[in-house]
A and B are shown apart, each in its own frame.
Chain A
Amino acid sequence: MYAIVAESLVKTYGGVPALDGVSFEVDRGEVFGFLGPNGAGKTTTIKILTTLIKPTAGRAEVLGCDIYRMGHEIRRRIGVVQQQESYELNLSVEKALDLYGFIWGVPRSRRRELVDELLIRFGLSEVRKVKAGDLSIGMRRRLQVAREFMHDMELLFLDEPTIGLDPIVRRQTLDFIKSKAREGLTIFFTTHILEEAEYLCDRIAMINRGRIVVVDTPDNLKREFGKIRKVEMRAKHSIPDDFIMRLMADSSFDRVSRIDPQTVSVICSTPGEAIAQMLRLADKFRLEIVSIYAAEPTLEDVFIGIITSDA
């Protein structure tokens, strides 16, 4: 039985699609990652699955419950760390943890144990008496993530839980989440950071502009798309349109784009060939090259590469 089944989810805002037919399944016990750039539709997907908003079309089941009819049942059995901050200005860190456990109906003795454990695990012991409103953003984020572990759940949604955290704390947080996954918790995790998804997830769905581009294990994705590079060339004078057209005509390049009049970039998995080709053309057009180099692609470049090679 699946923990999550989503079928053709669509969400439009004023006619503009934020989600454009998203389908996937998450197994019980799996850590499933939603990886995509800002605005891809990650938060919208989580809001739909946690029954905060309704999709424009499509259907979904969470823990076997229909999101339209059984929202309350779903919400009783999940945990959610939203992307947006949430805290109570006047409550101290330990009071905030305790009160959150209280509204979830966790017995007092269990709450006391959990508060003590989470304060330590999330490095919040020193600020336990500090009011949430007086914490740094990073500390507040830690409190928010820690707080969600005050209650039991079968499935945890984490919407970019590491934003605002410095690298060491980020790693500690991911490790804590990983330990929970090993204990059998199913996790739906979003991020725009490739390494995080790789580190944590059993499977990754790459999402861009409201569509899932590919779903696979981190290993397979790396094998398939790890070769993608971005080659950028800068000329002394503006590059003629013909030059660009010639590059575009080469089908082994996934995407050719003009960055500014003197700069062109190529996304491809054969950077050596791209450089050779650019040098040949520059010679032909008598273009003076200022710089030319191949770089690790950004996540966005990879998406563009995948989408263009799909089309």
Chain B
Amino acid sequence: MRNIFRLAYRAFVSSLDKPTLFFILIFPAFLIFVMGYAYSGIIPSFMLGGETISYPVFLASGAVTLVVVNSGMTVGTIIWFDRKYGMYEQILVGPFRRYEYMAGIILATILVSLLSAGLALTIASPVLAGTPVTLPGLLYAGLTLAVGSVLFGSLALIISIHLRSSESFNVVSNFIFFTILFTSSVFYPAEYAPQPIKLVAELNPLTYLADAFRAGLLGIADSNILFKTGILMAEGFALLAVASLMFSDIKA
């Protein structure tokens, strides 16, 4: 266990420098303060799970989940850099077991996600002020973020392992990032979207993460919320399993 914490700390320190943290937070900050208000003139408050919600609040709460995707991508892809720059093999000849390396990355993903989500939430607090936040709701929201971070950390691992020697690594991971972002319920509630988009959104784990997080944070009584959380967990578990399999298949 100590080894996992040590390797997690290493992954944390070597993947998260100040510019990276800035990059993780700046995009959601724009969504929260610019996009939300810019659109509020043409998007009236709407009904969500039986509550009236304004677009800035809707978007701000979604933007917080976005940092989880961003953090997962940042920390999960460390394996790509470790293999490219030799640290992976160096760690494997150190006093560690292979699974500890991967567990360390997953743990670091959770830590970075919760840390940056906390910061994003602080940034969003002026917008969210006035919404009744409860402690159980907040805990629930935090839990969904942790599950989401495992999911997106695993996704990043999968991409990194698959594209081991590819120079298109950056292009592919950016493409996947934006696809996940724009087909999720971060910007719009999936149930209001036209059929084809709705279909994609309903496959997208970020939709479930955003919905479950919003429900917890804003106290929205979404009757499907347990179901959605279940899907999020199932998808997270599936991706973690795939990532683990691919990881154990890596030949040194």
Contacts and interface: CB of A to CB of B under 8 A. Distances in A.
Contacts of B85: 85-89
Interface stretch (B93-101, B229-237, B238-246): B93-101
Interface string A83-102: 01111111100010001001
A52 interface: yes
A87 B86 contact: yes
A141 to B, nearest CB: 11
B252 interface: yes
Interface string A44-69: 00010011110000000000000000
A99 B93 contact: no
A104 B97 contact: no
A82 interface: yes
A72 interface: yes
A236 to B, nearest CB: 50
B128 to A, nearest CB: 33
Contacts of A51: 93
B9 interface: yes
Given A103-B7, A105-B2, A91 B89 contact: no
Contacts of B81: 88-89
Interface string B131-166: 000000000000000000000000000000000000
A91 B9 CA distance: 13
A75 interface: yes
A91 B14 contact: yes
Contacts of A78: 93
A72 B252 CA distance: 15
A25 to B, nearest CB: 21
Given A82-B90, A105-B2, A105-B6, A88 B95 contact: no
Contact of B93 (A80, A87, A91, A95): A80
Contacts of A52: 89, 92-93, 252
B97 A99 contact: no
Nearest to B16: A90
Contact of B14 (A50, A75, A86, A99): A99
Given A85-B85, A87-B85, A103 B91 contact: yes
Interface of B: 2-3, 6-7, 9-10, 13-15, 17, 81, 85-87, 89-97, 252
